[in-house]
Amino acid sequence: MPRLEARPEPSRAMMLASPLLAALAMLATGSLLFLFLGQEPLHAFYVYFIKPASTAYGVGELLLKATPLILCGVGLAIGFRADVHNIGADGQLTMGAIAAGCVALYFDGVEAPWVLPLMLVAGALGGMAWAAIPALLRTRFNTSEILVSLMLVYIAYLFLSYLVHGPLRDPAGYNFPQSKMFGESATLPLLVEGLRLNAALPLSLLCVLGAWFFCKHTFAGYRMRIGGMAPAAALYAGFSAPKNVWLAFLVSGALAGIAGVGEVAGPLGQLQPSVSPGYGFAAIIVAYVGRLHPVGVLLASLLMSLLYIGGESAQIELQLPSAITGLFQGLLLFYLLAADLFIHYRFKPRQRALTNPAEIPA
């Protein structure tokens, strides 16, 4: 049977081509999927990928959904570069939303310009506090940060559900599990009249710029990159692995928490049983499709956002199930991993063992 053999270091062009090949393979598989579902592929692709962004409102929704993906994806990419795998960004987003929501409700009726900045700080601290748990357990007890951060996501979900069903439920809300609507001073200003796009977008672009500068021009970014690429070399150079773990989790937790603020202080305007359709998990795909580079994450977030709004359009116009969005996301990740496998490795046939003495060369 053939065996896998590592290739020489792949070129930058090959690494950048990998996401494009994955996207093309996703589209090819999607055309077969639409055929099996009884849809004409060209019309289905138009409804899914073109029509949602063909109007100004559609472009606004595209950028609106891309914003939390950018924030979560940039934070995760910084950690992944250091080989620190934070899988719990959705939980950190939820805790950031809870912290910001508590601030908004505590200062309900206060019309002051400092309420919104205080919510952003509270959201970042909430996400950092939730991310600090797997960081502490990883550095102190060598637990798996993947399992711990993942399990904490569902604890955050249940905590939010408890709050909106109990202490934070709107007494005038007809017993619906939701908080009061936030005041005007606790909501993000809109960028364009008539669209839901808000000030979280320029904030996310600033985070992309800051992440690029951090990774490219700071010693901490260099230390994290070396720690991920060559752990033995990093240890020999005296770089602290626990410091990398803490920094990766705190940065990604803060950005995920700010993403949560953008949801509850933006399109939602209140706390609800669910504040995220899975942005934190989709951001994992975004980080890898973007090649763990801040600018690549920005572009990958736009693609993933298009998959979200395209799925909603396909549900309405083509009567397709909601799972179609997750299916396209899974296909994209599958083909990306497959492309990376063939970039880094090649199949080499095993040599047949010589058992006959006559076959042994003299």
Instruction: Give one DSSP letter per residue of 52-84, joined into a string.
Output: GGSSHHHHHHHHHHHHHHHHHHHHHHHHHHTT-
Closest CA to 127 of 254, 249, 245, 247: 254
Tell me the β-bridge partners of 4.
347
Q: Are 36 and 303 within 8 A, CB to CB?
A: no
What's the pLDDT score for residue 345?
75
Of 172-181, 284-293, 339-348, give the lowest mean pLDDT range: 339-348
Read off the pLDDT of residues 218-272 as tens digits, 9 standing for 90 and up: 999 999 999 988 888 888 888 889 999 999 999 999 999 999 999 999 999 999 9
- Indicate the range of 67-76, 222-231, 295-304, 340-349 predicted with least confidence: 340-349
Taking the C-alpha atoms of residue 357 and residue 122, their distance in angstroms, rounded to an integer, is 76
Helix axes 279-289, 323-344, angle to 10 degrees: 30
Given this model, what pLDDT does residue 1 score? 58
Angle at 144 between CA 94 and CA 290, to 5 degrees: 60
* Confidence at residue 246, expressed as pLDDT on a 0 to 100 scale: 97
pLDDT above 90 covers a percentage of the chain that reads 77
Listed in sequence order, the residues at least 6 apart from 160 whose beta carbon sits closer than 8 Å to its beta carbon are: 94, 97, 98, 271, 273, 274, 275
What's the pLDDT score for residue 357? 58
Whether the per-residue pLDDT at 82 is higher than 90: the answer is: yes
Domain residue ranges of the chain, discontinuous segments joined by +? 65-348
Q: Which pLDDT does position 230 carry in this prediction?
A: 86
pLDDT at residue 92 in the model: 98
| pLDDT, mean of residues 323-328 | 89
Distance, in Å, from the CA atom of 282 to the CA atom of 303, rounded to the nearest integer, reads 11
Distance CA 66, CA 308 (A): 9
Q: Is pLDDT of 362 > 60? A: no
**Cα(289)–Cα(108) distance, integer angstroms:** 41
Mean pLDDT estimate for the chain: 91
What pLDDT score does 360 carry?
Answer: 55
Confidence of residue 56 (pLDDT cuts 50, 70, 90): very high
Position 260 scores a pLDDT of 97
Question: What was the pLDDT predicted at 40?
Answer: 92
Over range 137-158, report the average pLDDT. 96
CB atoms within 10 A of CB 167: 10
Instruction: Report the pLDDT averaged over residues 197-208.
Output: 97
Q: What pLDDT, on a 0 to 100 scale, did the predictor assign at position 341? A: 83
Residue 329 identity: Q
Using a 10 angstrom Cβ sphere, with 0-12 exposed, 13-18 middle and 19 or more buried, the burial of residue 295 is middle
Span 79-87, average pLDDT? 95
CATH architecture of 65-348: Orthogonal Bundle (1.10)
348 phi/psi in degrees, rounded to 5: -125, 125
| Residue 64 pLDDT exceeds 90 | yes
Residue 34: which residues within 8 A CB-CB, separation 6 or more? 40, 41, 44, 45
pLDDT for res 74 = 97
Is the separation of the CB atoms in 318 and 47 below 8 Å? Answer: yes
Q: Where are the alpha helices (DSSP H) in 230-348?
A: 231-236, 241-264, 279-289, 294-317, 323-344
Q: Give the Å distances, CA to CA, from 350 to 2, 137, 157.
A: 5, 43, 50
pLDDT-derived band of residue 339, with 50, 70 and 90 as boundaries? confident
CB 314 within 8 A of CB 87: no
Least confident of 28-37, 207-216, 227-236: 227-236
Closest CA to 96 of 71, 127, 72: 127
CA 110, CA 200: separation in Å to the nearest integer?
22
pLDDT value of position 236: 84
Round to whole Å and give the CA distance between 129 and 249: 10
- Contact predicate 195/57, CB 8 Å: yes
